[in-house]
């Protein structure tokens, strides 16, 4: 591996040992004992980060890549966007890793090695296929990135329940998408039988063992050591399993469309006095599908709008928070409520510059004021049009594939 960028201890080491818990050793099935031991000393090595991740570990990754000369990573803002993805891909390519855009324990080890903090990574099995097993499996099986526990709901829980039943754990109960006591009991029983830490939480290693039982992936060869904390990342919105109601069709999809409302006159729409003046929160989906795509969650939210000007979208102007050009169909969300890149159907507003029946867009932007049950709809219009939108109650449907 290249040794062009070598740094001594200092800022980098301080950033890499921050954190008060030891995360699960999710890569123990495919890495050497040396790497597993180093991961106990450097919590960063346990962090599985990918496009859309947002936390202080992402900021650590960005700072380290910048120190190693990958300045295209941009600022260390803790948001894993296109620039971070490009820099990580470049590092993986330069150091002989499969270019997955996902951090693994081996990738972290070589980042730390180039900062003179640990020895270089040497795989237990030197074939690239073995080294990249977990990375590749997560990319091929999205379920493996779902950290579920009692209280979780949604279609991933339903997948978990169905898979456990197929694997011979009928005590999981019906596939209703609600992670209750029965599901927790089945998860723990499976973990006990497979020699996994009995935590009741679905980790990547848990999913690999479960999918292996169904003949979908190779079985893990070594199990992980029990984590000292049950702190887990949350990347999915809480969703309801009950999907009843109508099917909606022929909804305009604004993203990537040349949507250009013409002949319109700005109208001051009925506006709420504030963003807290409406009842908000998640509800049981009242719609089953939108243009054939299943509804996996429904929220009552408040919406505002923004334009491509510095005055309205400071400090980004005509680009989003990740540096991408703004376009019709983009929606700013709170990623802790709605994951970035989710496809959304939004209805209930009144505005003669937007389709009257609602529209399909994507959660591609964030904003400092966009917190909780609030969204911000991008409109490629003047300040007066955006201001006339005001603050309105809307219904937001999160759509599956």
Among 54-63, 115-124, 158-167, the least confident range: 115-124
What is the predicted pLDDT for the residue at 32? 55
| pLDDT surpasses 50 at 334 | yes
Note the pTM of the prediction, 2 decimals.
Answer: 0.41
CATH class of 144-213: mainly alpha
Domain spans, the chain: 11-140, 144-213, 246-399
What is the predicted pLDDT for the residue at 96? 85
| pLDDT surpasses 70 at 20 | no
CA distance 2 to 113: 11
Contact (CB, 8 A) for 397 and 345: yes
Contact (CB, 8 A) for 106 and 35: yes
Looking at domain 11-140, its CATH architecture is Orthogonal Bundle (1.10)
CA distance 335 to 46: 22
**Do 11-140 and 246-399 come out as alike in CATH topology?**
no
Per the prediction, the chain carries an average pLDDT of: 76
In this prediction, residues 350-370 reach a mean pLDDT of 88
Extract the tokens encoding 66. Answer: 């910048």
Contact (CB, 8 A) for 134 and 26: yes
| Confidence band, pLDDT 50/70/90 cuts, at residue 64 | very high
What is the predicted pLDDT for the residue at 124? 53
Nearest to 109 by CA among 99, 101, 97, 121: 121
Looking at domain 246-399, its CATH architecture is Beta Barrel (2.40)
Annotate 182-227 with DSSP letters as a single string: HHHHHHHHHHHHHT----S---HHHHHHHHHHTTSSPPPSSPPPPP
Contact (CB, 8 A) for 152 and 223: no
- Comparison of pLDDT for 215 and 349, the residue scoring more: 349
What is the predicted pLDDT for the residue at 262? 58
Core vs surface per residue 66-94: b (16+ CB within 10 A) or e: bbbbbeebbebebbbbebbbebbebbbeb
Q: How far is CA 164 from the centre of its chain?
A: 24
Q: Per-residue pLDDT tens for 92-148?
A: 889 888 777 888 888 999 999 998 888 888 765 433 443 345 657 777 778 887 888
| pLDDT surpasses 60 at 12 | no
CA distance 113 to 140: 28
In this prediction, residues 136-165 reach a mean pLDDT of 83
């Amino acid at each position: 591996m290249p040794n062009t960028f070598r740094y001594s201890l200092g800022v980098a080491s301080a950033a890499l040992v921050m954190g008060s818990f030891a995360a699960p050793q999710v890569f123990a099935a495919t890495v050497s004992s040396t790497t597993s031991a180093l991961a106990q000393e450097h919590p960063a090595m346990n962090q599985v980060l990918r496009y859309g991740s947002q936390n202080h570990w992402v900021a650590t990754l960005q700072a380290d890549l910048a120190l190693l000369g990958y300045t295209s990573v941009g600022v260390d803002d803790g948001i894993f966007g296109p620039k971070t993805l490009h820099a990580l891909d470049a590092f993986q390519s330069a150091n002989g890793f499969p270019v997955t855009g996902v951090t693994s324990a081996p990738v972290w080890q070589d980042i730390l090695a180039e900062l003179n903090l640990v020895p270089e990574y040497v795989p237990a099995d030197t074939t690239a296929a073995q080294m990249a097993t977990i990375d590749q499996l997560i990319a091929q099986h999205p379920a493996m990135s779902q950290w579920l526990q009692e209280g979780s709901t949604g279609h991933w829980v339903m997948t978990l329940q169905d898979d456990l039943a197929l694997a011979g754990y009928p005590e999981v109960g019906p596939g209703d998408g609600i992670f209750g006591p029965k599901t927790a009991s089945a998860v723990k029983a499976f973990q006990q039988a497979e020699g996994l830490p009995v935590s009741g939480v679905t980790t990547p290693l848990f999913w690999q063992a479960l999918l292996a039982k169904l003949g979908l992936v190779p079985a893990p060869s070594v199990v992980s050591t029990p984590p000292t904390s049950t702190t887990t990342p949350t990347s999915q919105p809480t969703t309801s399993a009950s999907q009843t109601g109508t099917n909606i069709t022929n909804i305009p999809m604004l993203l990537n469309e040349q949507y250009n409302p013409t002949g319109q006159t700005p109208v001051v729409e009925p506006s709420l006095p504030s963003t807290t003046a409406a009842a908000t929160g998640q509800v049981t989906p009242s719609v089953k599908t939108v243009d054939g795509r299943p509804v996996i969650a429904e929220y009552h939210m408040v919406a505002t709008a923004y334009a491509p000007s510095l005055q309205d979208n400071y400090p980004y102007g005509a680009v989003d928070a990740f540096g991408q050009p703004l376009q019709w169909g983009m929606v700013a969300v709170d990623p802790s409520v709605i994951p970035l890149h989710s496809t959304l159907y939004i209805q209930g507003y009144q505005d003669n510059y937007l389709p009257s029946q609602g529209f399909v867009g994507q959660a591609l932007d964030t904003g400092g004021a966009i917190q909780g049950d609030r969204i911000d709809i991008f409109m490629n219009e003047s300040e007066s049009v955006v201001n006339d939108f005001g603050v309105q109650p809307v219904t937001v449907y999160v759509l599956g594939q």
